[in-house]
Structure 1
Amino acid sequence: MQQLLFALVTIIAGVIGCVAYFVASNWLLDRIFPSKGRAGAIASRNLRIANMVRPWLFLTPALIALTLYLVYPVIESVWLSLHGRDGQQFVGLNNYRWMIDDGEFRQSIFNNFLWLLIVPATATFLGLIIAALTDRLWWGNIARSLIFMPMAISFVGASVIWKFVYDYRPEGAQQIGILNAIVTFFGGAPEAWITLPFWNNIFLMVILIWIQTGFAMVILGAALRGVPEETIEAAVLDGASPLQIFFKIMVPQIWSTIAVVWTTITIVVLKVFDIVLAMTNGQWSTQVLANLMFDWMFRGGGDFGRGAAIAIVIMVLVVPIMIWNIRNAAKEMEGR
């Protein structure tokens, strides 16, 4: 209860503070550069200057926050990655050389590659197909709501749900895990699914696919509804089948949106941490880069230099995709 009250007070104080800042800053700007009751030339000059300054009143808090919570941490992380365990002794590129030779880091890179290969493509494909199918059903809105619902669940919350799906009990005991209950119902033997090498990574990916499919469905569904009816009617008159219309007429017209969705999910995958931490904590060959960084930085490793070096690797992998994503989104908005 105390935490809820603290969170509520923080939200209220933050909202009041923002409103007070914008009201006070605009009032002060209008007093410094008044336009009312002044001569025409002076009023015009003051109004022009005020209009130039006013956007920065809105941007300044965001720029300060970005500097404190993005720019500074990046610079500090680069600096820490060149230092030793306690962040004091300069070691140059030794932490990066360690990564190349470390088996767990290579395992993390391989697992991240698997996640990148499977999750964005699967979630985007399922979202596209579901968006097309639900658009033709009278109960499509209900179906879309149910499929989008996992987006409202945190990654840790989703992991807890799927723990019950993959839960394992010894053979002969009552299975509370849905998957093992189905297996034993058909005469099979229960398995500890999240301990199976290689396949346990797939089982963890299913959780993120389950969450991100709803996101892909909503964005791609909106794009599909924006396809001009004239092109679809022309294809029908030419004798195209529904599948041909979908894959050869509609999909090419929303390809830029598909690319944006795919890259957005890719960025999420590169930073995946919560699911692995909650489900396996990186055990049984499921380690990923973000979880490895957390282990070295804050847990058993306690090595700030190595943790920061892994964080820099994650950033280097994410930034090019993010830039490409932003550019494609900007081009799509310009096209509209």
Structure 2
Amino acid sequence: MFVDMPLDELRQYLPTRDEPADFDAFWTATLDEARAAATPATFRPYDSGLSTVEVHDVTFSGFAGQPIKAWFIAPRGATGPLPCVVEFIGYGGGRGLPHEWLHWSAAGYAHFVMDTRGQGSGGYLSGDTPDPDASGAPQTPGFMTRGVLDPAHYYYRRVFADGVRAVETAREHPLVDARRVVIGGGSQGGGITLAVAGLVDGLVAAMPDVPFLCQYRRATEITDEYPYQELRTYCKVHRDQVEQVFDTLRYFDGVNFAARATAPALFSVALMDAVCPPSTVYAAYNHYAADKDIKVWAYNGHEGGQAFQRQAQIRYLANLMSV
């Protein structure tokens, strides 16, 4: 069933942003620290058994210089410079195996698939990157409450910094046209996309697909689904820490990053999505500061448009690249 406002109301939904005064300073310091600690990335050839693409196993420096894994996949024999899609992954998933990521190389792009630290054992795509910075404080099982009482130790500070460094690493590869880098991902990957869009200039486009990590407080009030349920459970137990939790999350809200974005964007939303309620998606979309469009999947849940959305993205980028 439809789980949120009617579509006409969603299109007009523009909640007041809840943003800490030091939001920009916090992220500038975070990224400066990551860059200062960075070491050169490694791109090692990987025998994927695939004949139409060349694959490299990547290790690059993310938050605080910590090593993050990725795949770099490009059409075999390409001489470049190629446009590149940097992709972020949904909640619980890791980078998986190269043959699970062939769509963008088939469309003629270089493809940089960032592993998500600590994830990759959630039941679908496997991962290879640890998260060494867990605060050690009590948390609800999962990632949403890891370090949630302090913005400096919150899990997504590390992940969003990793995302920015993934773009910077992709841009440095000799096969990539640094002026034609696109970011995208679904669910958690869409939330990371919004964060990176608000932190990185000069992107060709951003493609947040049914994005997660937007308007956290509202999400916990209107859905019982995971992963937002992790926050609800934590607040249910730690009754005296509720405001401290949401004070931290102001630094990580996709709505606040959307208001800083400069790249054109193609969003998607599903009106029967109880995992990432449509109003939380529209909160980010309606605050998004650059040119934008949104695909509405009226009768879909969190799966969104799937192959239909991917087709729309391929056509969207083809049009942008031809300008």
With structure 1 as the length reference, what TM-score do the two structures score? 0.32
Larger Rg: 1
Greater strand percent: which structure? Answer: 2
Greater helix percent: which structure? Answer: 1
With structure 2 as the length reference, what TM-score do the two structures score? 0.33
